[in-house]
Amino acid sequence: MNTIIINNLTREKRYALLKDQVVEKLVINQPKQHSSVGNIYLGIVEKVLPGMNAAFVEIGEGKSGYLHRDKLASFVIADDEKAVKDARSISSYVHQGEKLLVQVEKDATGTKGPRLTGVIELQGSNLIYMPHGRYVAVSKKMEDSLTREKWRQFGYQMKEPEEGLIFRTSCENIDQGYLTVELKKLRQDYRGVLQKAESLKKPGKLLERNAFIDDVLEEIKKMETGEIIVDDADTKAAIQKNSHLPIQLYSGKENIFSAYRLEHEIEKALKRIVWLENGAYLIFDEAEALTVIDVNTGKYAGKYDLRETVIKTNEWAAMEVARQIRLRDIGGMILIDFIDMKEEKDRRHILSKLEVELKKDERRTNLIGFTPLGILQLTRKKTKPAISEALTVRCPTCEGTGRILSPETVAFRLERELWEHRGGDYEAVLIHASIDVQKTFSGEQNIHKRRIEELTGLEVIFVDSNSEKPFYEIRQFGKAAELKRK
């Protein structure tokens, strides 16, 4: 049974999709990381780069957006043959300082600004309308080729030459007259965007979608059966207008995610190590554009032989890796280091297992295969930050490396620095240092501290520092009596 649990009562918006009580999807939307995907802006071309066939466009959101030539409306609607268009530089289609309508395709991540398109898409219940699309497409989920061709021909009858249409799966059994009305409304919406653009004198937002509610409704549309549990009456009313599924309003004092034991799933999605039920485990190392997943047998020893142990562990790992990729919303390049398999047929077996699991993912994935070193490669479309990026910040101590200098390393640095001051005119030095550095520097019964003091001619006076990492700072040289008073 499918269940959607929605936490929309506080500023952080969340929902979870459960299939037979197993969490298959987590979506967390914080105000500071509100997705801009789908938002439409009036932009001004800041820089044109012919070498990259791209432009950077100022949209009024801090970071300039990246816009490739092939996503320009002027490129798409040009009447030239494809080979002629492809041979032309971006400078033939746009110039610096030009005003453009653009839409966000992918949120800004890290140091990169948002990825933009000039081919605007307006979402309807059954149609996607593109004022400058020039093509008609039909959802591939409509399996009957005759039905798809019928809608494609109908689309060409409905649209103007420069327009584009995409028929969604939901329109399969809809009356054509209803779709004509929907298209008329989408055209009106676009005219409203153009009118607002004319009133703006600088880059700015023209249309913002409620990404959270839109995502929830999209998820609900995929459910033929199931239930919805929500903690907000307004959200319940909005969903009831668009769904026939039973909706329950949760009114308990405990947060709805805590009540349904979902907080634990969020914590697991942030952990580096994920344990499998059989005692094996996965290690996730996430970088900005690359995620490495390592599979380990852990406590699992198998029942018969090594090959059986390896295959079973890799099977369980393949299923959980696919699930974790969805839960964590990991995008970009993904490398999976399965336990080494000697036989090619075993690799093909695991590859097919992962392929089946990845079909459950609504995000586009590309399963490339095993490298000569036995690492499985795949890519997953990234449109927004992963959960780890959305909910965490870089550690101020290790600055994202996961490693810090040891007390020994820092203490030896201090020793070397004091050596540079040997034979000076001062009799003492005042040093702020963490306790662990002081202990390492001084040694048992201050044996190393006394030795350094004798060799340098400096009395070392420590003051405790409350630093969370091994630390020292030489504050002052002078007379011992004066420094001790400080």
Mean pLDDT of 444-454: 95
Q: pLDDT digits over 189-236, tens only?
A: 999 999 999 999 899 999 988 778 888 988 888 888 899 999 999 999
Instruction: Decide if 253 contacts 270 (C-beta within 8 A).
Output: no
**466 contact partners, CB below 8 Å, separation of at least 6:** none
pLDDT higher than 70, residue 299? no
Residue 57 lies in a domain: yes
pLDDT higher than 60, residue 302? no
- Confidence category of residue 33, pLDDT binned at 50, 70, 90: low
> How crowded is the C-beta side of 311, counted as CA atoms within 13 Å?
15
pLDDT higher than 80, residue 75? yes
pLDDT higher than 80, residue 304? no
* 60 and 179 both lie in a single domain: yes
Q: pLDDT digits over 94-116, tens only?
A: 999 999 999 999 888 777 899 99
Percent of all residues in the chain with a pLDDT value above 70, rounded to a whole number = 98
* 74 and 138 both lie in a single domain: yes
Q: Report the C-alpha gap between 123 and 147 in whole angstroms.
A: 22
pLDDT higher than 60, residue 18? yes
- Confidence category of residue 185, pLDDT binned at 50, 70, 90: very high
Q: pLDDT digits over 336-371, tens only?
A: 999 999 889 999 999 999 999 998 888 889 999 999
* 203 and 214 both lie in a single domain: no
Residue showing tokens 């809809």: 174
Q: Which of 391, 420, 444 is the last residue of a domain?
A: 391
pLDDT higher than 80, residue 43? yes
The CATH number of the domain holding residue 146 is 2.40.50.140
pLDDT the model gives residue 11: 85
Mean pLDDT of 9-37: 87
Number of domains in the chain: 4
The parent domain of residue 201 ranges over 40-207
Burial status of residue 160 (CB atoms within 10 A of its CB: 0-12, 13-18, 19 or more): exposed
* 278 and 386 both lie in a single domain: yes
* 363 and 219 both lie in a single domain: no
Mean pLDDT of 133-151: 86
Q: Which of 391, 425, 448 is the last residue of a domain?
A: 391
- Confidence category of residue 303, pLDDT binned at 50, 70, 90: low
pLDDT averaged over every residue in the chain = 90
Question: Of 95, 96, 104, 97, which is closest to residue 41 (Cα–Cα)?
Answer: 104
Sign of CA dihedral 444, 445, 447, 449: positive
pLDDT the model gives residue 301: 60
* 306 and 412 both lie in a single domain: no
* 57 and 179 both lie in a single domain: yes
* 53 and 180 both lie in a single domain: yes
Q: Which of 263, 284, 307 is the last residue of a domain?
A: 263
pLDDT the model gives residue 171: 81
* 202 and 102 both lie in a single domain: yes
Instruction: Decide if 44 contacts 29 (C-beta within 8 A).
Output: no
* 468 and 386 both lie in a single domain: no
* 411 and 432 both lie in a single domain: yes
Residue 243 lies in a domain: yes
- Confidence category of residue 300, pLDDT binned at 50, 70, 90: low
